[in-house]
Structure 1
Amino acid sequence: MPHDARPRYRLAPLLAVLFSVIAIVVLFFTGVAAQQLSSKQPVAAAEPTRSPTKPPARPGLGDKVRDGKFEFVVSRLDCARTRVGPEHLQRTAQGKYCLVSLSVRNISDGTRYFLGRAQKAYDATGTAYGDDTLAGVYANRDTQTFLEKLDPGERVTGRLVFDVPKKAKLTTIDLHDSPLSRGVKVELTSR
């Protein structure tokens, strides 16, 4: 063997041991780092500090609200009747009638019709009630009815009539520009 080859062979085992130690140290620290990352709980983003306030109140009696091409103002709720209409042409409720007095204004550029059947009232349990159109005709006999077309800017006032169980208490009404519109909810209870 040549004289120069010996130191190379002596260094080879030493280098192999050194590389093995380095590999073990790297694997150890990689495993520790991975374990620490997996055990950490995600930190939630800090929420801005808010002063304790009530959520915004839903519109109520007397407030102007809009849905689509109509502006509504609900003025009154009367649930004290079991009959509506003139003496010989009365309509009797299965439970009791709740009359919701409101105005509807056309805020569009074209002629529109207000549809009572697109409106829903809700009681405290969330039960929905549809408009009783025939009772509405009787209840609106002395006023301009909702059956007439509304020209741009024109306002009509009248009452929607809901036949509800005697013990039900209406809390909100969902008013719509049309049966497919998003709607706007109005509180029917006093604030």
Structure 2
Amino acid sequence: MPHDPRPRFRLNPLLAALFAVIAVVALFLTGVAAQQLGSGEPVAAAEPTRTAPTTRPAQPGLGDKVRDGKFEFVVSRLDCSRATVGPEHLTRTAEGRYCVISLSVRNISDAARYFLGQAQKAYDATGTAYGDDTIAGVYANRDTQTFLEKLDPGERVTGKLVFDVPRTVKLTTLELHDSPLSGGVQVALTRA
């Protein structure tokens, strides 16, 4: 008998067994899929995933504690009914009207810090910013000496911020800062 010069290919028995297992699993999965699709029964669609509607968290408002940097604030009141502030002989008159915002400030750092009224901003519904009237603020805070001085660590004081706004303006938001360069935190001055 003549010798066949071609080399014979021999399959490794472990590799052959692996191919056999893969083939059996593939046939099984193909059969299951064919049965599901060919049974005449409707295949149940996957339930749509329901997610809760995304709602923005409510903006903090009057009475809520908020923080920026090294201060914790609580805005308690907005009064836009004044044309003047200060005692009888030291009154300051608004160009429009004064909106006086009562708040407390607590130093949450481990060092004494100043609270700066001029770093605070109030906004109306159109996004127009109004700065603090520092002199009117001194008059409005005449009975709150510590509000104008350094606050020791843990110390909480109450005081007033005063904004001179046009008579037709309605303030909606107060932005509070622990310093002129901080990111700030906003507090709603109106209820939704």
TM-score range, shorter chain: 0.7 to 0.9
State the partner residue of 2:169.
168
Name the Cα RMSD after superposition. 1.5
Which one has the bigger helix percentage?
1
CA contact (8 A) 1:137 1:145 kept: no
SS in 1 for 2:74: strand
What letter corresponds to residue 124 of structure 1 in structure 2?
A: A
- Which blocks of at least 5 consecutive residues in structure 2 are unaligned? 1-48
Tell me which amino acid in the other structure corresponds to 2:159. G
Name the SS for the 2:148 alignment partner: coil
Q: TM-score, normalised by structure 1?
A: 0.73
Post-superposition offset of 1:190: 2.3
Q: Which residue of 1 aligns with 2:90?
A: 89
1:12-68, CA deviations, whole angstroms, 9 ceiling, x for partnerless residues?
Answer: xxxxxxxxxxxxxxxxxxxxxxxxxxxxxxxxxxxx742235321010000000000
Aligned-partner SS, 1:117:
helix
Query: In structure 1, what is the equivalent of residue 18 of structure 2?
Result: none
CA drift at 1:145:
4.5
Count residues in correspondence: 145
Residue aligning to 1:156? 157
Contiguous gaps of at least 5 residues in structure 1: 1-47
Q: How many percent identity over aligned positions?
A: 79
**Pair 1:145–1:166, CA change in 2 (3 A):** farther
In structure 2, how many angstroms separate the alpha carbons of the residues matched to 1:145 and 1:100? 17
| In 1, Cα distance between equivalents of 2:82 and 2:174 | 18
Q: For 2:120 and 2:145, how far apart are their aligned partners in 1? A: 18
Which amino acid is 2:108 matched to? I
**Residues 24-173 of structure 1 correspond to what in structure 2 (within 5 A)?**
49-52=50-53, 54-173=55-174
